C-alpha cells in the first residue's frame, strides 16, 4: 500500500472526511484492507467503546408484497413456505429475549400489510412495558403510520436503501420508487427515530463509485445505524445466478463507514459469516459494534429464507446467545448491558466497562 493511501486512511480517522474519489480509491485497493480495518477498530474503540450490543431479532412474518429481485421473500416466490406469527407469539419471543439478556429486540418482517398500524402499535406497547428498546424493520409505510409506531414507543427503524443509485434501485426493486425510499428515510429522521439504512454489495451493475456515493449519503443524513452485507444469490429469485457480492469489498466499506461516521452503530451481519467462517469476528475487528442474533424459534428460522445457506438456522435462541457472548469475550470485548442508543458528540473509550453484562 502506498503512502498516499495511508495518508487517506490517517486523515479519515482523524477528520472523518473524504471525498467521493478518495473513498472509491480505498474501496478498490486490496492492499489497503488491513490498514483500513485497523484504523476503523481504533476509531470504534475511541468513539463507541469495546462493548458489543446484542439485539434479539424476531422474524415474525415472511409474507411480502414486494418484488425485489434478490430477495427470497419476494411475493413472486412460490417455493417459499409462508408464515405469520400472532401478536401473542411475537410478545412471547420478546419476553424470552429479555430472559436471555437482550436489551433491544428487532421486529423484522416482509412488507406484510396484515400487520396494520393498530396491530403493530399494540405489540410495541406490550414489549416496551418489558423495558426493552424496540427496533422496527417492516418496510415502507405512511408518515402517519411511522408517527403512530413512534408514539407507541418504537425507538429505531431499519430501512435499508440497498443502493442510492436511482436507476440501479428501480431496476432491482421493480414497482418501488427510489424517491419514495428516500422520503421514508427522511420522515423517520423527522419523527425522531434512530434510523438505520445500508447497502447490498454486489448488485449487478453496481460500481465502486456508487458505493462511495452511498457512504457520502449516509454521512449527509447522519445515519444512526448502517448495515452492510454482500449479495448472496438465492436460486428462487431472478438474481439466483448472479455473482456473489465481494466479501472483501464489503469489509472495506464497513471500515470506511466507521472512519467517516464514527458514532454510528454498525452491525457485523449474518451474511458476512455465511460467506466466511467467523466473519462476524472479523467485521467486529474492522469497525463494527453490533450483532443481531436470531431469537425466532423452531422452523420459522429456516422459513425466513432471504438467501441460502444462512448460518445458525438449526440453533436455539439460547444457544445463539451463549455462543455469541462467548465469542465476544474471546475477542477481548464484552457484551454491553445498555440499550445501545447512539451517543452524540462524545468519545466513550473505556467508560462502558462499568456496564459489562454477565449474562
Q: Which of 104, 207, 201 has its CA nearest to residue 160?
A: 201
Q: How far apart are CA 308 and CA 165, in angstroms?
A: 26
Cβ 22 vs Cβ 215: under 8 Å: no
Give the separation between CA 136 and CA 257, rounded to whole angstroms: 22
- Is 92 annotated in a binding site? The answer is no
Report d(CA 51, CA 71) in Å as an integer. 32
Residue 320, annotated as binding a ligand? no
312 is in an annotated binding site: no
Beta strands in the chain (DSSP E): 51-54, 56-61, 104-109, 133-137, 156-158, 194-201, 225-230, 290-291, 334-335
**Would you say 121 is a known binding-site residue?**
no
Closest CA to 295 of 134, 60, 52, 53: 60
φ, ψ at 163 (rounded to 5°): -155, 140
181 assigned to a ligand binding site? yes
What letter would DSSP give residue 31?
Answer: G
78 labeled binding residue: no
DSSP-derived 3-state class of residue 54: strand
Known binding site for [4Fe-4S] cluster: residues? 64, 68, 71
Known binding site: residues? 64, 68, 71, 137, 162, 181
Known binding site for S-adenosyl-L-methionine: residues? 162, 181
Amino acid at each position: 500500500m502506498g503512502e498516499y493511501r495511508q495518508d487517506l486512511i490517517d486523515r479519515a480517522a482523524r477528520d472523518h472526511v473524504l471525498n467521493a474519489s478518495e473513498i472509491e480509491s480505498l474501496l478498490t485497493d486490496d492492499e489497503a484492507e488491513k490498514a483500513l480495518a485497523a484504523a476503523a477498530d481504533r476509531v470504534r474503540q475511541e468513539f463507541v467503546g469495546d462493548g458489543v450490543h446484542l439485539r434479539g431479532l424476531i422474524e415474525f412474518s415472511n409474507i411480502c408484497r414486494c418484488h425485489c429481485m434478490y430477495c427470497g421473500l419476494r411475493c413472486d416466490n412460490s417455493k417459499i413456505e409462508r408464515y405469520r406469527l400472532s401478536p401473542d407469539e411475537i410478545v412471547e419471543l420478546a419476553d424470552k429475549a429479555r430472559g436471555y439478556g437482550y436489551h433491544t429486540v428487532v421486529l423484522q418482517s416482509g412488507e406484510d400489510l396484515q400487520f396494520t398500524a393498530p396491530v403493530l402499535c399494540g405489540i410495541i406497547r406490550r414489549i416496551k412495558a418489558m423495558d426493552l428498546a424496540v427496533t422496527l424493520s417492516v418496510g415502507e409505510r405512511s408518515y402517519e403510520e411511522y408517527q403512530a409506531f413512534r408514539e407507541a414507543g418504537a425507538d429505531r427503524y431499519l430501512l435499508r436503501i440497498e443502493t442510492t443509485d436511482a436507476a440501479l434501485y428501480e431496476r432491482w426493486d421493480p414497482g418501488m420508487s427510489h424517491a419514495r425510499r428516500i422520503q421514508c428515510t427522511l420522515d423517520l429522521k423527522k419523527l425522531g427515530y434512530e434510523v438505520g439504512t445500508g447497502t447490498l454489495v454486489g448488485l449487478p451493475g453496481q460500481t465502486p463509485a456508487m458505493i462511495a456515493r452511498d457512504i457520502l449519503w449516509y454521512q449527509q443524513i447522519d445515519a444512526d445505524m448502517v448495515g452492510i452485507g454482500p449479495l448472496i444469490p438465492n436460486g428462487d429469485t431472478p438474481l439466483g445466478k448472479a455473482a456473489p457480492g465481494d466479501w472483501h469489498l464489503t469489509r472495506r466499506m464497513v471500515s470506511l463507514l466507521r472512519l467517516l461516521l464514527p458514532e454510528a452503530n454498525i452491525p457485523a451481519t449474518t451474511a458476512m459469516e455465511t460467506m466466511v467462517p467467523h466473519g462476524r469476528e472479523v467485521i467486529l475487528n474492522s469497525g463494527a459494534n453490533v450483532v443481531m442474533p436470531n431469537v425466532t424459534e423452531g422452523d420459522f428460522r429456516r422459513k425466513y429464507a432471504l438467501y441460502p445457506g444462512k448460518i445458525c438456522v438449526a440453533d436455539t435462541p439460547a444457544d445463539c446467545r451463549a455462543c455469541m457472548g462467548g465469542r465476544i469475550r474471546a475477542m477481548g470485548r464484552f457484551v454491553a448491558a445498555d440499550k445501545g442508543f447512539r451517543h452524540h458528540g462524545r468519545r466513550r473509550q473505556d467508560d462502558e466497562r462499568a456496564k459489562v453484562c454477565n449474562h
